[in-house]
Amino acid sequence: MSDFDFDLFVIGAGSGGVRASRIAASHGARVAVAEEHRVGGTCVIRGCVPKKLLVYGAHFAEDLKDARKFGWEVPDCRFDWDVLRDNVLAEVDRLEGLYGQTLDNHKVRVFKTRATVVAPQTVRLADGQELTAERILIATGGWPHVPDFPGSEHAITSNEVFHLETLPRRVVIAGGGYIANEFAGIFNEFGSKVTIVNRGDTILRGYDEQIRDRLLQISMTKGIDFKFNAPFEKIEKNDDGTLTIYLGGCEPIVADAVLVATGRVPNTKGLGLDEVGVDLDPTGAIRVDEHNQSSVPSIYGVGDVTNRIQLTPVAIREGQAFADSVFGGHPTVVDYANVPSAVFSHPPIGAVGMTEAEARNKLGSVRVYTSDFRAMKNVLAGRNERALYKMIVNAATDQVVGLHMIGPDAPEILQAAAIAVKAGLTKADFDATVALHPSMAEELVLLK
């Protein structure tokens, strides 16, 4: 028997931690996991899953209007935030139970409490109990970053937004990234007056310029207001419960809620990693090698806590690779090239590979193909909103090195198309594929 209480102790039961725990256990390891909040982590409890359910709910605002053009007699409908909120939270509860059941089925011991690292192979629970493990895996994810300014305590983050007692009539959203634009679309469709405030001059930094410009154009057409180069100065709470937001270079804005969506930072504060010699970068992220190992050989990190790519599927891949490498005798390294991503805005964005600017900087000679069109459904519905598909091709090899899309179901289409980019297929391969007609996806094989 081992001299340790466990072969593996995981801190954090989110997507990466749960995958690592159950795979390690399936390889025969004695595994424990500590979770101070709820099993399931950011994605399941307060991230992509409940957010996507809100996105589905928001889409009905336009779908119900469009249905009239398709012959349906749809009366004027009233949206009830309480019903959607409570149903979403009930689904989160159900999924949390399933995650816990998965760990139990694999005989992973779960400690529903905070754990910190007190030695390279020792953790301490909140009640003072200390446990030893041959290896410790940190999978505590990220946490919303709230800038420090007067009145910031009056703002909420993506952690609290799913629990709002009432739907705000006016909401100000700080930030220009995917979280800000997703919730802007959600609240706008629910009937709130939405203002996005960005301290810079660009939304969705890192996405292709044409695609993000198209989202900005459509969002403004839908009634979302944008304030650029407008840093927060302070928030004051008024006697009637409303908030007055003071911005640099802009007139004050009165709103019922302020959502701060200015990025996420690695959730390592207070874990004791510094004290045991784990090397952290300036953001607090654990520096790890390609095998997810930190500067302390017995301590590893996966997921957003390492600040490599902050995506749930990446955390899951890293957790799997860690468990297979360390406990399964199958050394595995995650390939971070051509990782697809999506923004569930209104309309949504899907992207994989290099943007046009990145490709020109790296490859020099590129060919760019675009299709700018109205989806068939939008045409009949009388909706002027246009989709944009963009393909980036290495001119020297004909290899497709980037796909970028905005339009209905773009992420669903992009997932399959990402396989082709990952496989290194060429523009000629796309051209040789017969179109599936009539569909939006067929535009990918008809680009000229």
Instruction: Tell me: is residue 179 an annotated ligand-binding position.
Output: yes
In whole angstroms, give the CA distance from residue 211 to residue 214. Answer: 5
Q: State which residues of the chain have pLDDT below 50.
A: none
- Comparing CA positions, the residue from 404, 389, 314 lying closest to residue 359 is 404
Instruction: Tell me: is residue 263 an annotated ligand-binding position.
Output: yes
Report residue 312 as tokens.
Answer: 């749930």
Distant-in-sequence, close-in-space partners of 309: CB < 8 Å, separation ≥ 6: 336, 339
- pLDDT value at position 2? 79
Residue 309: CB atoms within 10 Å? 16
Q: Which helix (H) or strand (E) holds 343?
A: strand 341-343
Question: For the stretch 200-213, what's the b/e string if a residue is b when 16 or more beta carbons lie within 10 angstroms of its beta carbon?
Answer: eeebbeebbebbbb
In whole angstroms, give the CA distance from residue 83 to residue 299. Answer: 44
CATH class of 347-445: alpha beta
Instruction: Tell me: is residue 165 an annotated ligand-binding position.
Output: no
Instruction: Tell me: is residue 277 an annotated ligand-binding position.
Output: no
Q: Which residues pair with 353 in a beta bridge?
A: 402
- pLDDT value at position 1? 61
- pLDDT value at position 36? 95
Instruction: Tell me: is residue 395 an annotated ligand-binding position.
Output: no
CB 121 within 8 A of CB 131: no
DSSP character at residue 167: -
Distant-in-sequence, close-in-space partners of 433: CB < 8 Å, separation ≥ 6: 445
119 phi, psi to nearest 5 deg: -160, 165
What is the pTM for the complete model shown?
Answer: 0.95
| Residue type present at position 168 | P
- pLDDT value at position 240? 96
CB 199 within 8 A of CB 285: no
CB 13 within 8 A of CB 41: yes
From the candidates 37, 154, 404, 437, which is the catalytic residue?
437
In whole angstroms, give the CA distance from residue 430 to residue 419. Answer: 12
- pLDDT value at position 331? 95
Which CATH architecture is the domain 6-144+265-326 placed in? 3-Layer(bba) Sandwich (3.50)
Instruction: Tell me: is residue 189 an annotated ligand-binding position.
Output: no
- Comparing CA positions, the residue from 353, 321, 343 lying closest to residue 422 is 353
- Comparing CA positions, the residue from 402, 406, 395 lying closest to residue 371 is 406
In whole angstroms, give the CA distance from residue 347 to residue 59. Answer: 9
- Overall fold of domain 152-262: FAD/NAD(P)-binding domain (3.50.50)
| 346 is an active site residue | no
Report residue 390 as tokens.
Answer: 């963009």
- CATH 3.50.50.60 placement within the chain: 6-144+265-326, 152-262
Q: What are the tens digits of pLDDT across the range 391-437? A: 999 999 999 999 999 999 999 999 999 999 999 999 999 999 999 99
Instruction: Tell me: is residue 304 an annotated ligand-binding position.
Output: yes
Instruction: Tell me: is residue 178 an annotated ligand-binding position.
Output: yes
Distant-in-sequence, close-in-space partners of 424: CB < 8 Å, separation ≥ 6: 399
- CATH 3.30.390.30 placement within the chain: 347-445
Instruction: Tell me: is residue 180 an annotated ligand-binding position.
Output: yes
The single residue listed with the structure tokens 């009388």 is 382
DSSP string, 186-200: HHHHTT-EEEEE-SS
